Structure 1
Amino acid sequence: MLCYFQGYHDIVQVLLLVLGEKKALPAVAQISLFRIRDYMLPSLSPAVKHLHLIPAIIETTDPELRQRLGNIQPFFALAATLTLYAHDIQEYSNIARLFDFLLAQEPVVAIYLIAAMILSRKKELLEIPEDEPEMLHFTLSKLPTPLDLDGHILHATRLFKDHPPESLPLGAWKHIPWCSVLKTSRDRYRKATVEDAVYLFDKQSQQIRTEERRKQAIDFLWSHRRSVGSVALAILVGAASFYIGKKGLDTSIWYYVGRVQRALKRWI
């Protein structure tokens, strides 16, 4: 039922190298179902919702930097978060160390980590001219160098403790579906079953289909807004006429309409 995404092999590769094939197989299944399930749905829209937690985290700690990044969508972090940083970190010892950290935390901490990395680069980011958003996006899409991994881990841990997901501004946490892995895998000691994962996967897939249908309906109405507006106005006028006739108000209304017309003619 899970959908492959570009970069999934980077995660699997780390587990194969560290655990060996026999132990890696169940680990890959567990991580796929309970850590990165949102990235293996029929659409990447849930992953995009994860990314919108990043500006909310930055807003809580550095409004100045948040304002500077205001027009930059957080898509720059997609590759790193999708692959649990395995795509961007090439050093074996670093990625193994990072997996130790991430897999010992709840899934949302991976988002706090990218926010910590962005905050650590404030000086560099503020020096980029405001009229060069492409350069800003390019810089954000790369991990900081040199990579102070333990420093970023400590910073992310502190951010998560001081500003838990429920406290984030901009309604960011509310936009995460209840069936998202970010909310259903918060208890690291709860033993969930494959059946649980299948149920949640189906629920989130249904939600995606509902959102897509709603978006298509809104896009259709917007693209045909003039025609829709004319039809709605005709219906409104017809309903009003029916109501006026039923209540016997038409004579009085036409009397006042006539008086207004005569007054306008005199004024003109």
Structure 2
Amino acid sequence: MDPYNTDEDCVNKCNLNGSPVLDRMSNDLNHTKNIDDIATPSELNFDQEFDYEEPEITEKKKEIEQCLKNPDIVNVDKWQSFARSKAGLISDEYRKVIWPLLVGVTLEELTDPPSLDELSTHPEYNQVVLDVNRSLKRFPPGIPYEQRVALQDQLTVLILRVIIKYPHLKYYQGYHDVAITLLLVCGDRASFPLLCRLSYGPTAPLAPFMQLTMQPTQHLLNYMLPVVRRADDRLAECLDKSGVGTMFALPWYLTWFGHSLNRYSDVVRLYDYFLCAPPLFPVYVTAAIVLHRAPQVFSCDADMAMMHCLLSRLPDDLPFEDILVVAQKLYEENDPTDLEPEVAALERREEEQRKLEEERMRRRRAGRVVPRAPLSSRLARYLPAPLRRAAPRRTILAITAALLAVYVYYRPDIFRMHPNEDK
């Protein structure tokens, strides 16, 4: 499935048309380095975007550093408190240690990855490579070629390791956006067990996206509209009138906003929170964003295409600290269990509308059906006018058959199978 537009122009500019391995070979690199030597998390972060100078953040940094001196004795609640409070975990230097702790990764799980060649026979290999090549906007700007290639290889290996370990999980486009965020922050050894935790298990937040169909994902995304309605009924009516639905937010949910935000600092800040929040919390963040943009929604025409275009494009100046506070409040006031009847009613209405539309289309098609003319009438069009007027049906059929036999005799080639056609 392709829930969002890909960065084809960026791919074409970088001449990435196939496997990262082939790409590397084609550029005649005559030496090989260990991936970790080429691309370590500290080299590939974007910390230059962070600029927290408030006294409370300075104090928070000191407290985090103190806890990191003895991480094994720090309660997970403390790490979660750091992740949820203002500015989150502040720096990738802290995140690469704390993110695995938030989901319970142990030292025993930090194993070395296999080589890309060992995984290249997997059925999903080509699709994964294609999506990895499309994810260039998520790479550090100005990254040297060798580092980019190494990072692409790391990302491909990371994804394939997870879907090989859990073969019942289905890879989806957008999974690589989550994977690269974990990889950039934690490196290839820690990101694998971390991604496994997010992908497999009864409460794994990415597991619904990795089923045979999109129905589980769409069902969960439908919780957004009742949350919006409870907070702002007028806004919900405006959305309902436009018929925009929830598809504009699908890439947000599938990638934890990794695909849709331009600022790396915003992405990792959200991941700080999501890693220690309930699985459905990104949907509440989606509702909070829609509520934040209510003035723009009200000024937009109640047209589905225009509303989808407006909402699907996230501005760069969203105040995510405020949005996370609102989302947490929305979650506390609207427990998912309490929303289930409203979601069920919404899905019944959508199903009824779908059936009505299918019936309308069926009737429209049925109204356009014109009964076919008899064979003799259709064949008569190919006879001279005097014969059409005088000849009875049997004569028309006979004459047409004779003419066809003569044509085939002189042009037998049109009935021969082309040598390249399937036999």
Distance 2:306 2:341 in 1: 26
Letter paired with 2:317 = P
Question: What RMSD, in angstroms, separates the aligned Cα atoms of the two structures?
Answer: 2.6
Could you tell me whether the CA contact under 8 Å between 1:166 and 1:173 is conserved in 2? no
Q: Report the counterpart of residue 236 of structure 1 in structure 2.
A: none
Distance 2:305 2:345 in 1: 30
Q: Report the counterpart of residue 80 of structure 1 in structure 2.
A: 252
Q: Report the counterpart of residue 219 of structure 2 in structure 1.
A: 49
Distance 1:145 1:65 in 2: 22
Q: Report the counterpart of residue 22 of structure 1 in structure 2.
A: 189
Q: Does 1:96 align with 2:263?
A: no
Q: Report the counterpart of residue 336 of structure 2 in structure 1.
A: 165
Q: Report the counterpart of residue 32 of structure 2 in structure 1.
A: none
Q: Does 1:122 align with 2:294?
A: yes
CA change 1:19–1:175 in 2 (3 A) is farther
Q: Report the counterpart of residue 317 of structure 2 in structure 1.
A: 146
CA change 1:148–1:156 in 2 (3 A) is same
Deviation for aligned residue 1:167: 2.3
Could you tell me whether the CA contact under 8 Å between 2:285 and 2:323 is conserved in 1? yes
CA deviation profile, 1:129-149 (whole Å, cap 9, x unmatched): 22x331111111122441211
Q: Report the counterpart of residue 234 of structure 2 in structure 1.
A: 64
Letter paired with 1:140 = L
CA change 1:124–1:110 in 2 (3 A) is same
Distance 2:310 2:197 in 1: 33
**Structure of higher CA gyration radius:** 2
Q: Report the counterpart of residue 305 of structure 2 in structure 1.
A: 134
Letter paired with 2:264 = Y
CA deviation profile, 1:6-30 (whole Å, cap 9, x unmatched): 1110100000011111101100111
The equivalent position to 1:38 in structure 2, one of 205, 208, 219, is 208
Q: Does 1:7 align with 2:178?
A: no
Count the aligned residue pairs: 182
Letter paired with 1:143 = L
Deviation for aligned residue 1:60: 0.6
Q: Does 1:109 align with 2:281?
A: yes
CA deviation profile, 1:214-264 (whole Å, cap 9, x unmatched): x9xxx9xxx7xxxxxxxxxxxxxxxxxxxxxxxxxxxxxxxxxxxxxxxxx
CA deviation profile, 1:34-65 (whole Å, cap 9, x unmatched): 12100001111111111211111111110100
Letter paired with 1:137 = H
Distance 1:20 1:62 in 2: 42
SS in 2 for 1:172: helix
Distance 1:125 1:10 in 2: 28
Could you tell me whether the CA contact under 8 Å between 1:5 and 1:39 is conserved in 2? yes
Deviation for aligned residue 1:104: 0.8
Deviation for aligned residue 1:174: 8.9
Letter paired with 1:10 = D
More helix by share: 1
Name the TM-score, length of structure 2 as normaliser.
0.40
Distance 1:111 1:157 in 2: 11
Distance 2:291 2:273 in 1: 19
Could you tell me whether the CA contact under 8 Å between 2:205 and 2:280 is conserved in 1? no
Higher-RCO chain (CA-CA 8 Å, sequence separation at least 6):
1
Distance 1:50 1:175 in 2: 12
CA change 1:69–1:129 in 2 (3 A) is same
CA change 1:116–1:144 in 2 (3 A) is farther
Stretch of structure 1 that moved more, 9-18 or 143-152: 143-152
Letter paired with 2:292 = S
Distance 2:190 2:345 in 1: 37
Distance 1:112 1:23 in 2: 28
Distance 1:14 1:100 in 2: 11
Deviation for aligned residue 1:173: 6.8
Deviation for aligned residue 1:124: 0.8
Deviation for aligned residue 1:170: 5.1
Distance 2:282 2:235 in 1: 20
CA deviation profile, 1:85-142 (whole Å, cap 9, x unmatched): 1111232222111101011101111100000000001111100122x33111111112
* Runs of 4+ displaced beyond 6 Å: 173-176
CA change 1:7–1:169 in 2 (3 A) is closer
Distance 2:339 2:214 in 1: 22
What percentage of residue pairs aligned between the two structures are identical? 28
